[in-house]
Chains A and B, each alone.
Chain A
Amino acid sequence: MSISRNEARQVAHLARLEVDESDIDSITEELSAIIGFMAQLAEVDIEGVEPMTSVTPMRLSKRADVVASGGIRDRILATAPAVEQGFFTVPKVVE
């Protein structure tokens, strides 16, 4: 099992990671090796086995549907890299 250079480019794009074209070969090679390592999972008989979705058999507890916190805008914005007038700032999104 291996992946192509185009697949590697596509995965990097989906993961929102900029990659240099000069690194594509080595990334393709590394990802192929790791995916090859996972290929042995294909030999396990999983017929009728439920996928594990919770490691400890427990019901997730629910809390009351009420506002538990709020009014902390400035504390949330305090750890952002760029803030203006009470908002996160980003490059122009809509032309």
Chain B
Amino acid sequence: MELADLTIAEASRKLRTRNVTSVELTSACLEVIERASQLNAFCWQDADYALDQAREADRRLAKGDASGMCGIPIGVKDLFCVRGVPTQAASKILDGFRPEYDSTVTRNLQDRGAVVLGKLNMDEFAMGSSTEHSVYGPTVNPWRARNCDDQRTPGGSSGGSAAAVASDLCLGAIGTDTGGSIRQPAAFTGTVGIKPTYGRCSRWGIVAFASSLDQAGPMTKCVRDAAIMLRAMAGHDERDSTSSNRPVPDFEGALTGSVRGKVVAVPREYRVEGMPSEIEAMWKSGVEMMQDAGARIVDVSLPHTKYALPAYYVIAPAEASSNLARYDGVRYGYRSRLDSECGITDLYKRTRAKGFGAEVKRRIMIGTYVLSQGFYEAYYRRAQRIRTLIRGDFEAAFDDGVDCLLTPATPSAAFPLGAISESDPIKMYLNDVFTVTVNLAGLPGISVPVRLDSNGLPLGLQLIGRPWEEASLLNFAYVLERQAEFNQKPRKWWLQ
């Protein structure tokens, strides 16, 4: 077993008993990152930057006052500002941007001694489900189908984070989730990813996509690690007025492994037309696993589920078109060259045309359209009302005593790179069919790997919890993880 293969919990134990140092762990990660360039998971890394943090962590560990994250090497999605570190949201328009300040989430992690190894690839501005829409080129999933060398997507938008964790380049990573961008890549790579309740983690310093939906969360090798890492990330921040001042519980301490007598609901509307039989079979086995663990299974109806995806594709682009207005060629990043007779509007238009990729431009235009005069009521206001109905569906289930819901995380396993063509954006949007409802309702959701499909690719289930009850949700996930006994790892074909 290599040092970089350790989980956070295992490594933390070894660090605290001085069986390993953070410098050793960090060096081990840097070495495998170097040898895994084929995966294109990291888009920036710096050995000196990482080792300086590791040495500082070792000093803290020697003093004995270290948290569970102290000395743990992690990767950071390129959406998080880290002071002095290139932060581009995988976009040309932020070329050369090195923020002068830290995101609260990365600051919280670094204050607790976590070692930032570098930045991870993603879909540009977190818009996508495949990490193919990136100025750095696509990330490759470490998993391959049996007897097939096709390169597959790690999912997206946090695809670099998922690939890096699945291939043991780091012990954990952070991602963001606006419509499924943590949970879908986690499912595609056999890793664990949790999107916490909206407001649990501060959004300060995270490049904004859709502010009413964006949340940061950990992506890890196991549920225990997600619990440890989430605790270190979360908490009130006066610089994000939507961040909650509720106390952050000891999530790891909540992992009792018992869900006896708890109620797990299976929403019938998630049985979508054309669902592959392997997904359906995995879902069924997940239900049996929860039953075996002593949970009571109930059937529920979430009648507005069908409208979640179209509502999401009104609300998210509307908010994005507004948030991305700040990229004007004046304040940060890239500016297009201009002829001397060009004016300020030409500067904006050309910089944005050359700086944004095709999918980002498409969403900005959709957002501009649905917010424009004459269409605002018909699209944006209507979508906001439907959002109220979608949250109401979940509230009704929780009022009936449901503790959590169990659904597939994705409608398929990881697809080959390039399989969903650029000309069919709606087909790509359908990847989010099981995950967007959770963002629209502001709920916590977690993806847990369950089994390999007949091609040898990982599949995951999603658990959805009550607002602010991530502790209980993580315990459900822990039980599912123990029942599923998923312990496969991809063959390390990428090492050079």
Contact = CB atoms under 8 A, between A and B. Distances in A.
Interface string B226-255: 000000000000100110110000000000
A88 B332 CA distance: 10
B382 A41 contact: yes
B364 A82 contact: no
A73 B238 CA distance: 22
Interface stretch (B32-40, B148-156, B184-192, B343-351): B343-351
B335 interface: yes
B351 to A, nearest CB: 9
B198 interface: yes
Given A18-B349, A93-B344, A50 B331 contact: no
A45 B269 CA distance: 18
Nearest to B328: A16
B307 interface: yes
Given A52-B388, A61-B238, A79-B98, A16 B349 contact: yes
Contact of B330 (A17, A39, A49, A80): A80
A56 to B, nearest CB: 5
A90 B344 contact: yes
A14 B310 contact: no
Interface string A5-18: 00110011111111
Nearest to B350: A18
A92 B343 contact: yes
A12 B310 contact: no
A31 B366 contact: yes
Interface string A36-72: 0111111010100111111110101111000000001
Interface string B426-437: 100100000000
A86 interface: no
Interface residues of A, number: 52
Nearest to A92: B343
Nearest to B97: A79
B66 to A, nearest CB: 31
Interface of B: 96-100, 197-199, 212-213, 238, 241-242, 244-245, 304, 306-307, 310-311, 313-314, 321, 325, 328-335, 338, 342-350, 352-353, 356, 361-362, 364-370, 372, 378-379, 381-389, 391, 423, 425-426, 429, 440-442, 467
B347 A91 contact: yes
19 contacts: A11-B368, A16-B328, A17-B349, A18-B353, A34-B425, A40-B307, A41-B310, A41-B311, A50-B385, A51-B388, A56-B198, A56-B442, A61-B238, A76-B100, A79-B97, A81-B329, A81-B332, A82-B335, A90-B330
Nearest to B392: A49
A27 to B, nearest CB: 7
A24 B400 CA distance: 51
A78 to B, nearest CB: 6
Of A37, A56, A90, the most chain B CB neighbours within 10 A belong to A56
B369 A16 contact: no
A25 interface: no
Contacts of A34: 313, 362, 366, 425-426
Given A41-B382, A76-B100, A90-B347, A81 B335 contact: yes
Contacts of A56: 197-199, 242, 244, 442, 467
Contacts of A46: 382, 385-386, 389
B54 to A, nearest CB: 27
Nearest to A26: B423
Contacts of A52: 384-385, 387-388, 391
A68 B314 CA distance: 35
Nearest to A29: B423
Given A14-B372, A16-B349, A35-B369, A79 B100 contact: yes
Contacts of B388: 49-52
Contacts of A81: 96, 329-330, 332-335
Given A16-B348, A58-B199, A91-B338, A41 B386 contact: yes
Contacts of A92: 343
Of A39, A61, A82, the most chain B CB neighbours within 10 A belong to A61
B329 A17 contact: no
A30 B198 contact: no
B364 A30 contact: no
B454 to A, nearest CB: 31
Given A17-B365, A39-B310, 16 more contacts: A11-B368, A11-B372, A17-B349, A27-B365, A31-B362, A34-B362, A42-B382, A50-B385, A51-B384, A52-B385, A52-B391, A56-B198, A76-B100, A80-B330, A91-B338, A91-B344
